[in-house]
Amino acid sequence: MSSASLQEQPTVSTGRFKPLVILRRYLFLVILLIMLGTLVAVPLFLWKLSFVYTTISSVIVSPKFVNNLITDRTLDLNANEYVLFTEQQSRLITNLQLLHRVLSIPEVKTKWMQPNESIEAAVGRLRASMVVDAKPRSTSFVTVSLNSKNPDGLDVVLNAVMRAYLKETQSSIFFESNERIHWLKQKRDELLNYIPKLRNLRMNIGNELGVTTFKEDSLNPYDNILIQSTAAATEAQRHRVEAEALLDSLQTKEGLKGEATLNSLVYELVNADPLLKDFKSSLVKRREELTTQILTLTPEHPARKKTEQEIAKIDRDLKAAEEKLWEETRNALLGKYQAKVNQAQQVEKALTEQVETQRQQATHYATRYNEALTYTRDIDRAYKQLEAINDRVDFLSIESEAPGFVRLYTEAKPPLQPSGSNAVKLAVVLIAGVLGMGLGVPFLLDIMDRRLRTPAEIHKILGFAPLAWILERNNPSSRQFALDQLRRLALTLDRDRRQHDNRYFTLTSVKPGGGTTTLTLELAKVLNELGVRTLAVELNAFKPDARYLGIDPNKGLNNLLNQTIIESPEHLIVPATDRLPERLPVGLSQTRHLVTFGRLPAVLERLSQTYSLILLDAPPVLLSADTELFAEITDGILLIIEAERVISGELKRATHLIERLSPPVVATVMNRVRIYQGGGYFSQLLREFNTASKLRTSWLKRWLWS
């Protein structure tokens, strides 16, 4: 038992299309359609059957090329060339222009054209009446026949057509070269005008690019310049990045590293300044003099204070000079590096613009150069074509004889008696139509019938095979085989109970009338016979079944569900009989649903103390919501699918509803599988069951029936 999956399994063969089974199923329809088709076909055959007169003429087509001025050899056409040549002659006979010219002959016009008939209609009728039979692989004759209900003048018309054909073939492009030479000369003139135009276009490109010769794989002169300019632009970008990084490091206010670097550079420049050195030297010298002088003066001396003030002024002047020079040097140094950054940026911008300009020039040069190469190739190709045309014109001009010949073999004779020329063809078409309608309609009906018939179809739709399939029981032999299938299903449920302790199984069908109740009661009876005490519980308040009823038809499961305290349900169980197992009816209900669903688990728990298996007979899943509620308490759901009553869409919807409830186990059982009379897999299986021996069948019979 497996969980459902709706993925398609295209590798699973459904065994649905069996021709003889379909024909047997629709046998009366096939007979009726063939009879109706015959009633229509016979009058149509007599109406369309016509007797016509036929006249025949033939020509012989030679497979040899005779010698000409170019060669002394006589050449034979090979098989394929001869076939093509003969087909060409066959089409030439029914050429519309040729037939127009034939009907312009007064004698032919009088013999063929009907009163008030246009020339176009007469040509079309003449062409439709002609049959050209050419078999170049078996004979060298081309036979032409002309059919008409009026025998008068048929030979005159056909002989006129053949004479016009022979004249046409002598002036056709295969035998004489006048038209071919004319066409080749026109093509040569076109090439002679085309080549100078290409040369002018190529010359204009050469003047534009300054190139006189165009060769394949030629180097683009802008490529090296572009490479150098790109390298210079990259180098300028590197210098600009370095300058910006250096200026950034000097201007940064975060941390002391950049400030220390700047102060170090300023300090070196300030200490190296000669003017500051001279100024400091003079001030230091004067300060030393004043310091010496102040040592000789007492603190009360009037000149001491003045000397000290002068020394202080010297110190202030010295400091101010240093600070001024420091600030000027610092600003000059920053300005210098800023100027380097600006210069690097300008150089990079100029080189980048130059690279872009050179790239555009290189692209333009390459594009125009390739155009010129294309013109060169076109010119070379045109010269080769021109050379080939000149050679061909020269050859055709000196031809002295045709490379082959066609001559009349037999002329047309007046027809003597008519014949039913279309009798066989018409009969074949009508018979094929009648049989096609009689056999095709049943196949079409079978294809349009989407009802499920075989377990393999369920396997293909759901992705897993049915747990069991039960044959229809319309005779004693099939009932015995169905009982054996029920035993297999019962053993499967018992095995699942013993292995997984699954005790509640809900049986529900896709649609009403699927045989769920019958299958539930029979399955419970078989399980009891196998020693597994089983109870069939009717949960189908949607449509109760009379087979569940006991002595009091008003008592049942609804009585237990309506009680406040769940009493022992044993007194409501209907005892088993020879044909029916122990069962618990659903009882009377004012609605089509169970009254109090919440108490059902307690009832089933009480019953499970007495019974090993409990089969729950639920209403159809697509019609009643009760079935969805049962999935919460059941250990497994058996979906009953009635053969030839359920379509794939209904099965998918039912399985989706069940899968959404996520029961522990989901399995399908196909019920009432039909046994087709006269053969088929199920019929063969039934015969093997009844005879207890294997039947030998041919592969053809297996394909037609199984």
User: Tens digit of pLDDT for each residue in 518-544?
Assistant: 999 999 999 999 999 999 999 888 788
pTM (2 decimals)? 0.47
- pLDDT for 522 equals 92
What is the domain partition of the chain in residue ranges? 19-49+422-448, 53-177+401-410, 221-397, 477-668
What topology does CATH give the domain 53-177+401-410?
Alpha-Beta Plaits (3.30.70)
Over residues 152-198, the pLDDT tens digits come to 888 898 899 888 888 877 665 444 456 667 777 888 888 888 888 88
Residue-averaged pLDDT of the chain:
77
Task: For residues 610-625, give the mean pLDDT.
Answer: 90
What are the backbone angles phi and psi of residue 656, rounded to the nearest 5°? -60, -40
The residue ranking higher by pLDDT, 176 or 476, is: 476
The residue ranking higher by pLDDT, 670 or 173, is: 670
Over residues 354-409, the pLDDT tens digits come to 878 877 877 877 787 788 888 888 888 888 888 888 877 776 665 434 444 677 87
- The answer to whether 453 and 643 have CB atoms below 8 angstroms apart is yes
Task: For residues 210-237, give the mean pLDDT.
Answer: 73
Task: Tell me the DSSP string of 590-622.
Answer: SSSS-S-GGGHHHHHHHHHTT-SEEEEEPPPTT
The neighbour count for residue 90, using CB atoms within 10 Å, is: 18
682 vs 248: CA distance, rounded Å = 94
Q: How confident is the model at residue 692 (pLDDT cuts 50, 70, 90)?
A: low
- The answer to whether 514 and 499 have CB atoms below 8 angstroms apart is no
- The answer to whether 461 and 8 have CB atoms below 8 angstroms apart is yes
- pLDDT for 228 equals 77
Asked whether residue 548 carries a pLDDT value surpassing 70, the answer given is yes
What topology does CATH give the domain 477-668?
Rossmann fold (3.40.50)
- pLDDT for 351 equals 79
Over residues 421-438, the pLDDT tens digits come to 566 777 778 888 888 887
Collapsing DSSP to helix, strand or coil, 551 comes out as: coil
What b-and-e string marks burial along 183-192, b requiring 16 or more CB atoms within 10 Å of the CB?
ebeeebeebe
The residue ranking higher by pLDDT, 670 or 73, is: 670
The neighbour count for residue 692, using CB atoms within 10 Å, is: 6
